Structure 1
Amino acid sequence: MPAPGRPRDATIEAKVLRAAVELLQERADDFSMRDLVERSGVSRAAIYRRWPGRRDVVVAALDTNRAPLALSPRGTLLETLRSEYQTGVALLDEDALSLLKQRLIQGLRDPHVQRSYWERHVLRRRTSVLHALRAAQDRGEVRADADLEVVLDLINGAAYYQGVVRGDWNSPESQQRIGAAIDVVFASIRTPVGTDATHGQESPAAP
């Protein structure tokens, strides 16, 4: 055991998460902590010093290839959203799709995993898009009464529907449908010309 105050091996977490990802991708059923110890070569005690239990390892492993969406402005907010979402699905490779499917499977099988994944990972990934939507709202580009959380749910839902229901994660056709869905959502929240963006009423200066 390391002496008190000695830094822990920085590679241990990576070894455990890599092993957990491999086990998730190889098996339709759950893996055990014993499986994880054998695959990673990391002791059970070392794993438990970093995660309270197997479920917490699974939640961390499911997010190993994800990062918060960093929006790169492409002109208007609508153009930015279309570009980021369509590019995002186009870049999904086989490994990313495999882990994405496991996130769906594990979340549906275990509500605690689903909730924990939402709280630890999904919420932080929504931040940049919500920030962009709020900025557009402040500029008067988006209606003041638009529920931005619901707006983001609708856009994300359209993207997930392509793979979860249609079984078509990243074809040109699915990208086109995602873009069209974003157009529809944005049209519903855009501030009409001649409307007071703050109060959602027709401006006295409007013709």
Structure 2
Amino acid sequence: MPKPGPRGILSDDVIVDAALLLLDTRGPEAMSMRGIATQLGVAPNALYTYFPDKAAVLRAVVDRLIGTHADLSALADSSGLPRARIRTLALGLRAGLIRHPGAASVLLGAPMDGPQAMLLGEHLLSALADAGVEGPSGARASYLIIVYLLGSVALEALELDPTRPAPPEEDRIAARRQAFDRVPAELFPRTAAEAATMATYIGTEQFTWGLDRLLDGLGVPA
């Protein structure tokens, strides 16, 4: 239930909304308690009724991003094939996070321990168990999948302006291809020969290729 706030405008959700707006328009550095308060038109002290510090706000932002972009219902649907459930989760969450280029640094800098993150972890463990990967192996596999997902998003985000929407994937790949075309083939012949493929490293095809190889290695049947 929302706590009373100055002029009745504040709540946990309102503060997280303001933090996300700053993330998307001014980058992760703007998400200070003072910056959020300024965005909302209140004194910084007003925020501490809802969150004890910036770290708590970042945890809530991470949980909002996961809850918004992770298809937890599909992941939890035991009638579906485990591999398809995991792929749906990973592809959807990756696509959603790339729409917030500044989110990568937040996800890598704040614990994933909110309610939505815990649900994601629980359902991922269940999907892996349904595939026969359980116990300690299932826990390690779950961690490996999350690391692959977040690492891929973080590397893509490095090439994006965190204060602007991500350009279409095909445009980003084309720009990378132009950069690879400037690589001197006489010095880096293998790189030049594989430039077309290497330009797609940030694309969905590469992400899916890697995810499938990862799931193959973990013993999740196709």
Q: Which interval holds the TM-score relative to the shorter structure?
A: 0.5 to 0.7
Percent identity at matched positions?
A: 19
3-state SS in 1 of match to 2:112: helix
- Offset at residue 87 of structure 1 (A): 3.7
CA RMSD across the alignment: 3.7
Deviations 1:105-158 (A, max 9, x none): 7x1xxxxxx3xx223363332121111212332xxxx4x676112212222233
- Offset at residue 90 of structure 1 (A): 3.6
Is 2:122 aligned against 1:122? Answer: no
Which amino acid is 2:106 matched to? R
- Offset at residue 103 of structure 1 (A): 0.9
Residues 78, 182 of structure 1: 8 Å contact kept: no
Which amino acid is 2:15 matched to? V
Aligned pair partner of 2:106 in 88, 103, 106: 103
Write the mapping of 1:20-169 to structure 2, written as runs, cut at 5 A. 20-25=19-24, 26-27=26-27, 29=29, 32-67=32-67, 69-70=72-73, 71=75, 72=77, 75-92=80-97, 94=99, 96-98=100-102, 100-104=103-107, 107=109, 114=110, 117-120=111-114, 122-137=117-132, 142=133, 147-165=137-155
Q: Which residue number in structure 2 is paired with residue 12 of structure 1?
A: 10
Q: Whole-Å Cα distance in 1 between the matches of residues 95 and 34 of structure 2?
A: 37
Q: Whole-Å Cα distance in 2 between the matches of residues 8 and 158 of structure 1?
A: 41
Which runs of 5 or more structure 1 residues have no equivalent in the other structure? Answer: 1-5, 108-113, 193-207
3-state SS in 1 of match to 2:49: helix
Residues 33, 54 of structure 1: 8 Å contact kept: yes
Residues 17, 60 of structure 1: 8 Å contact kept: yes
Which amino acid is 1:119 matched to? D
Check 1:8–1:171 CA distance in 2 against 1; reply closer, same or farther (3 A cut): same
Which runs of 5 or more structure 2 residues have no equivalent in the other structure? Answer: 160-165, 171-199
Which amino acid is 2:125 matched to? L
| TM-score using structure 2 length | 0.58
Deviations 1:53-99 (A, max 9, x none): 233223323433331533156842223322332244344563x333x
Check 1:92–1:60 CA distance in 2 against 1; reply closer, same or farther (3 A cut): closer
Residues 62, 102 of structure 1: 8 Å contact kept: no
Residues 16, 36 of structure 1: 8 Å contact kept: yes
Which amino acid is 2:19 matched to? A
Q: How many residues align?
A: 171
Farther off after superposition, 147-156 or 22-31: 22-31
More helix by share: 2
Q: Whole-Å Cα distance in 2 between the matches of residues 35 and 83 of structure 1?
A: 35
Q: Whole-Å Cα distance in 2 between the matches of residues 33 and 187 of structure 1?
A: 44
Residues 18, 36 of structure 2: 8 Å contact kept: yes
